[in-house]
Structure 1
Amino acid sequence: MTATGGSVFLVEDEVMIRMMVADMLEELGYKVAAEAGDIAEAMRLAESTEFDLAILDVNVNGKVISPVAEIIKAKGRPFIFATGYGSSGLPEQYRDRPALQKPFQLDALGKTIETALRGA
């Protein structure tokens, strides 16, 4: 797996942010494998989609992302949290995972993805 060309599963409830992150991913050379805007859809897609990495909004429509993270962890795939709350906003059992503070820049996204993929 090289630094580019991987596929990303993106979970974000705000459509504009999701579109912006998808554009950033494409600019970095990644492909968006699937996108979800709610927990139920995210759980279904996490189980049925092949991807190299997931970017998970911590709080999706007021619900914590943990059930989706559990599925991805069980699949043995790395994931990154995107949060407006800093690392204290992360689900406790995932505080060791990479997190992006929203709003984030392209270079921060790229570096965080590389770190997550290297650690996988």
Structure 2
Amino acid sequence: MPLDVPTPLSGLRILVLEDEALIALDVEQLCRDNGAGEVAIASNLREAQQASQPYDAAIIDVMLDGEPTFDFARSLEAAGVPFVFASGYDQLDEIFKGFPDVTLVSKPYAGDDLVEAVAQSIRKLARSAG
């Protein structure tokens, strides 16, 4: 891809909250391939909460070792950080009730679907803020 063509995640700082290492590495590479400037991986909530860098967007697995990530997602929402959920779970009524405007990308997902969902969450937040 030519350097002067913007990509969906051009220059963005992305947090990937994912406890399966291979998936996390794939998502990191996917973000970098789509222009992300920085990608941080957190495999548990403690690591995610310790991340000091402000992020432009996040990709959050719904469950990490059986622990739901909804409280962390609410903290991102309160901070104005756009995010998407990525999950292999199919019983996710709580997401739809608690996060009606957040996109859920079901695993296994196509890379383009995930990147577009992240880009769309950023655009949606920008429109609502402006």
Matching residue's letter, 1:84: G
Spell out structure 1 runs of 4+ moving beyond 6 A: none
CA contact (8 A) 1:33 1:50 kept: no
CA contact (8 A) 2:28 2:39 kept: no
CA contact (8 A) 2:31 2:39 kept: no
Task: Tell me the residue number matched to 2:83.
Answer: 79
Task: Tell me the residue number matched to 1:109.
Answer: 114
- Aligned residue pair count: 117
Matching residue's letter, 1:49: Q
Normalised TM-score (structure 1): 0.87
1:57 aligns with 2:61: yes
Task: Tell me the residue number matched to 1:96.
Answer: 101
1:46-87 superposed Cα distances (whole Å, 9 cap, x missing partner): xx2211001000001110001211221121110100011247
- Structure of larger gyration radius: 2
1:23 aligns with 2:29: yes
1:73-103 superposed Cα distances (whole Å, 9 cap, x missing partner): 1211101000112472653311431111111
CA contact (8 A) 2:11 2:35 kept: yes
Instruction: Work out the CA distance in 2 between the residues paired with 1:112 and 1:72.
Output: 16
Unaligned runs of 5+ in 1: none
1:7 aligns with 2:13: yes
Aligned-residue CA RMSD in angstroms?
A: 1.8
SS of residue matched to 1:103: coil
Q: Structure 1 vs Structure 2: percent identity of aligned residues?
A: 29
Give the deviation of 1:31 after TM superposition. Answer: 3.0
